Amino acid sequence: MSSSSSDPITTYGFTAVPASASALLTSTPAYPPPSTPAPFIPVSETPIPDTPLAKRIQAYAREHLPEPTYNHSLRVYHFGLAIKRYRFPFPSWAFTDETYFLACMLHDIGTTEENQRATRLSFEFQGGLLALEVLRRRPEAGETEMEADAVGAVGGIATREQTESVAEAIIRHQDLCEVGKITAVGQLLQLATIFDNTGTHADLVHPSTIEDVSKHFPRQKWSNCFAATIRRENSLKPWAHTTALGEEAFPNKVLGNKLMEPYE
């Protein structure tokens, strides 16, 4: 859904919504009503944005992320748009697919082995900072197109506000608060990542949608892979923000994801 509005708050997903997912889901005037089951929304109905910027960042993600993480990032995109269409079809949630896509592609960029060891920052914070850089990156003077391409600098450049919305969503994507507000695009990223990782709020996505998305972007034992990433982060950085989700409880929840078990 591309917004014709020039209001950056709406276009880039800065609309403030409750941070508590359960409060949001119970309070949102739902259309269609929540008693209507989630509709089947195949991957073909939530296409990847056909823009130079989306293409550049997708290529960057494909280049830098291990395949299971890249596939997870694409599932988060399609699950998120399915959730949005079902539960948040509101004008205030009409941020561009491109903004959400960029957030999905880069949200776990801080978990790569190289990036985890490059900094003492928690992975989401480093990911947000990397996003600020990569989304605004232009080829530098004296840099060949090939050199620029290697760091993702060829193609569309995000505006400052779009970049900041994406960075904010990445930094807060594991910040599951019960109090306060978050951006709409940040809330959708939280809902969709937690959905793919733990199966929470299973009723937000039709089982056939889960099947179709998992067929296009196979999990390749994602639960084991992500649980190992969580444990590596927490052992390299015992102060990491990921510990806020429970040092044992969170990886165990990921490993106990019953909803996605048939597709592991």
Q: What is the contact surface with Zn ion in residues (CB under 5 A)? A: 108, 193
Contact between residue 152 and residue 50 where contact means Cβ atoms under 8 Å apart: no
Given the complex with Zn ion, which of 154 and 226 has the nearer CB atom? 226
Tokens of 140: 């530098």
Helix/strand/coil for 207: helix
Minimal distance, residue 66 CB to Zn ion, in Å: 12
Which pairing describes strands 16-18 and 181-183: parallel, antiparallel, or unpaired?
A: antiparallel
Dist CA 233 CA 231 (whole Å): 5
Minimal distance, residue 192 CB to Zn ion, in Å: 9
Minimal distance, residue 73 CB to Zn ion, in Å: 7
Helix pair angle (67-87, 207-216), 10° resolution: 150
Given the complex with Zn ion, which of 20 and 193 has the nearer CB atom? 193
Minimal distance, residue 225 CB to Zn ion, in Å: 11
Given the complex with Zn ion, which of 18 and 80 has the nearer CB atom? 80
Minimal distance, residue 191 CB to Zn ion, in Å: 12
Contact between residue 145 and residue 154 where contact means Cβ atoms under 8 Å apart: yes
Minimal distance, residue 104 CB to Zn ion, in Å: 9
Given the complex with Zn ion, which of 98 and 108 has the nearer CB atom? 108
Candidates 166, 158, 168, 230; CA nearest to 198 is 230
CA dihedral 33, 37, 38, 41 (to 10 degrees): -120
Given the complex with Zn ion, which of 20 and 190 has the nearer CB atom? 190
Candidates 97, 82, 72, 77; CA nearest to 13 is 97
**Cβ contacts of 202 within 8 Å, gap of 6 or more:** 195, 259
- CB atoms under 10 Å from CB of 85, counted, come to 16
Given the complex with Zn ion, which of 163 and 193 has the nearer CB atom? 193
Given the complex with Zn ion, which of 46 and 193 has the nearer CB atom? 193
Minimal distance, residue 26 CB to Zn ion, in Å: 25
